[in-house]
Amino acid sequence: MLSAKIKKVFPGGFTLDVAFEAADGVTVLFGPSGSGKTLTLDSIAGFVRPDEGRILLDDAILYDGAAGVQIPPQTRHCGYVFQNYALFPHMTLRENLEFAVRARKNLDRHKRVTEMLERFQIAEVASRLPHALSGGQKQRGSIARALLAEPRLVLLDEPAQGLDAMLRQELYSVLREVVRDFRTPILLVTHDLEEAMEVGHAMHVYREGRIVQSGTPTGVAGMPASAAIARQLGIYNLLEAEILALDPGRNTSRLRVGEFEVAGSYYPGHLIGDRVLLCVHPAAVSVHARNGSLRANQMALELEHVAEGPHRARLWFAGGIRAEITRVEWSSIEKAGEFAVEMAPHAVRLIKG
């Protein structure tokens, strides 16, 4: 178990002030560059000394501002995998791994390194220098080296950066194996929501040096706490609207979005005439070929852009409304001259501005 409370003030005005816990599995620190994620890892690893706070790993105090305790990085039992992998360039991959267990006897060291090379499927490139390795091989080598030291915590800083889609999936498989086989808690820094969803068990959303929301990746992505977090996640429609009608008995509402009216759920604590911000996931927006008049809850919008993926198509409409539909659905309407966009009433929810 990691328990961290960290405060660090910088002359330029930026302040890191976070508190969280991390147990077994992968805990994701999610947020944009410059929000304090890597600074958090560096503070836990001992490369940065906070101004205030306390960091405990299991029953060991790594840092205590009030007591003046700052344990050196080499005795913190944290395995750190940096963005640039940090393999020694003058050593082969095997020699890099051997460095992590240099205090062990030769036979035991050779056996443990060989086992780790085979486990991470990099034995065939063990004699190569880092410059001759692929990005995926370097990444797996860095993780293997970190685990050889038998850390009580693994710190990963943007581990999938620079990897293509196939290598990313290989990395995610490796991380799942590490969680399953080594049972070592992992702190993973990323600004990629798909990565957080792929491997994360818990997630803390960073914004300007603060944690603004915590939960499971699915829970955070499914219910962002504010419009700022929804924008940071990058997966929601955020629409200004006016409440036209509220019916608590039927659990319904009517809202005006631009020149159109849409249905939603009942929103307690609000009044008719209130100006609100709606949050709608693109997957809850359906698109139809427009034939004649609009049905209830439909909006006639001009299609501005389409991005087709292997299985789904993303559509951008006038007014900033996005939809995400299957390729089959898109192929059935792509030749339509006009489109009707419809939002599922249960998915139209209010969010703090």
CATH number at residue 26: 3.40.50.300
- The CA distance from 50 to 120, in Å, is 35
Residue 333 lies in a domain: yes
**Does one domain contain both 12 and 81?**
yes
**Does one domain contain both 244 and 199?**
no
Spatial CB neighbours of 46, under 8 Å, sequence gap ≥ 6: 62, 63, 70, 71, 72, 73, 76, 78
| Domain enclosing residue 200, as ranges | 2-226
**Does one domain contain both 11 and 68?**
yes
Q: What is the mean pLDDT of residues 110-127?
A: 91
Q: Where are the alpha helices (DSSP H) in the chain?
A: 37-45, 93-100, 106-119, 135-148, 165-182, 193-199, 217-222, 227-233, 327-333
Q: What is the mean pLDDT of residues 35-39?
A: 96
Per-chain mean pLDDT for the chain: 92
**Does one domain contain both 38 and 64?**
yes
| pLDDT number for residue 294 | 86
Name the pLDDT band for 24 (thresholds 50, 70, 90).
confident
| pLDDT number for residue 295 | 82
pLDDT at residue 123 greater than cutoff 90:
yes
**How confident is the model over 240-293, as pLDDT tens digits?**
999 999 999 999 999 999 899 999 999 999 999 999 999 999 999 999 999 888
**Does one domain contain both 90 and 165?**
yes
pLDDT at residue 189 greater than cutoff 90:
yes
Spatial CB neighbours of 242, under 8 Å, sequence gap ≥ 6: 255, 256, 273, 274, 275, 276
| pLDDT number for residue 181 | 87
**Does one domain contain both 213 and 246?**
no
**How confident is the model over 288-343, as pLDDT tens digits?**
999 888 887 899 999 999 999 889 999 999 988 999 999 999 999 999 989 999 99
| pLDDT number for residue 304 | 95
Residue 231 lies in a domain: no
Neighbours of 108 (CB within 10 A): 10
Last residue of a domain, one of 195, 226, 257: 226
| pLDDT number for residue 108 | 78
| pLDDT number for residue 149 | 85
Residue 29 lies in a domain: yes
- The CA distance from 319 to 260, in Å, is 12
Residue 182 lies in a domain: yes
Name the pLDDT band for 10 (thresholds 50, 70, 90).
very high
**Does one domain contain both 38 and 60?**
yes
Question: Which amino acid is present at 91?
Answer: M
More confident residue, 102 or 127: 127
**Does one domain contain both 49 and 89?**
yes
**How confident is the model over 50-107, as pLDDT tens digits?**
999 999 999 899 999 999 999 999 899 999 988 777 888 999 999 999 988 887 777 7
Closest CA to 277 of 230, 317, 219, 316: 230
Residue 260 lies in a domain: yes
Residue 89 lies in a domain: yes
pLDDT at residue 353 greater than cutoff 80:
no
Last residue of a domain, one of 226, 260, 282: 226
More confident residue, 320 or 45: 45
Residue 159 lies in a domain: yes
Last residue of a domain, one of 226, 261, 287: 226
Give CA separation, 126 vs 150, 178, 230, 328, in Å: 20, 20, 44, 46
Domain total for the chain? 2
**Does one domain contain both 210 and 240?**
no
What's 294's DSSP letter? P
Q: Tell me the angle at which helices 106-119 and 93-100 cross, rounded to the nearest 10 degrees.
A: 120
What is the enclosing helix (H) or strand (E) of 262? strand 260-264
CATH number at residue 322: 2.40.50.100
| pLDDT number for residue 110 | 87
**Does one domain contain both 274 and 338?**
yes
CB of 75 within 8 A of CB of 120? no
**Does one domain contain both 322 and 177?**
no
Give CA separation, 317 vs 38, 173, 215, 301, in Å: 37, 37, 32, 6
**How confident is the model over 139-177, as pLDDT tens digits?**
889 989 988 888 999 999 998 887 888 888 888 888 898
Residue 79 lies in a domain: yes
**Does one domain contain both 26 and 143?**
yes
